[in-house]
Amino acid sequence: MDIKQTVLDILNDLTGSDVSGAMDDNLFDSGLMDSMGSVQLLLQLQSQLGVNVPVSEFERSEWDTPNKIIAKVESLA
């Protein structure tokens, strides 16, 4: 499965916007993501990609742009 595309699909669904043109934009600063969004992201990564991220290891600054999220997920997959 293409990790990049799956993550982008999850983010598109979560934020209601296509983030593929803004891969280095901070999703939290722009208000597209928040705490509840983060929870959903973790749940979806688990169900769609089998990637387990313990909530206690979710350092927001490592997950705040689409590129960072993709890199994180690739390193964990």
Partner 1 sequence: MRVARRKQSLGGQSMIRDMITAMDHWALQDPERLAYDDLGHTNTYGELKQRSDALAAHLDNMALPAHAPIMVYGGQTFDMMATFLGIVKSGHAYVPIDTHSPVERITTINDIAHPAAAIAVSALPTTLGDTPIIDGSTLNTIFDQHVDYQVTHGVSGDETYYIIFTSGTTGKPKGVQISHTNLLSYVNWMLSDDFKLPQAPRTLSQAPYSFDLSVMDWGPTLAAGGTLVALPKQVTDNFKALFETLPTMNLNVWVSTPSFVDICLMEPTFDASHYPNLSRFLFCGEELTHATASNLHQRFPKARIFNTYGPTETTVAVTQVEITEQILADYPRLPIGYTKDDTRITVVDDQLHPLPAGTEGELLISGPSMSKGYLNNPEKTAKAFIKMAGKTVYRSGDLGVQLDNGLIMYRGRTDFQIKLHGYRIELEEVNHYLSQEDHIQVGVAVPRYDRNHKVSQLIAWIVPATHEFTNELDLTKAIKENLQGGDMMAYMIPQRFVYKESLPMTPNGKVDIKSIIAEVNQ
Q: Does 56 bind partner 1 (CB under 8 A)?
A: yes
- CA triplet 32, 71, 20: central angle to 5 degrees? 45
**Which of 4, 23, 25, 37 is the binder for partner 1 (CB under 8 A)?**
37
Using the contact rule CB under 8 A, the part of the chain among 19-27, 35-43, 65-73 near partner 1 is 35-43
Cα-Cα-Cα-Cα dihedral sign, residues 62, 38, 29, 3 = positive
46 or 77: CB nearest partner 1: 46
- Check binding of 60 to partner 1 (CB under 8 A): yes
Q: Is the dihedral of CA 55, 57, 1, 31 positive or negative?
A: positive
Q: Is 77 in the site for partner 1 (CB under 8 A)?
A: no
User: Considering only residues 2, 21, 24, 61, which one is a binding residue for partner 1 as defined by CB under 8 A?
Assistant: 61
Identify whether the C-beta of residue 41 lies closer than 8 Å to the C-beta of residue 19: no
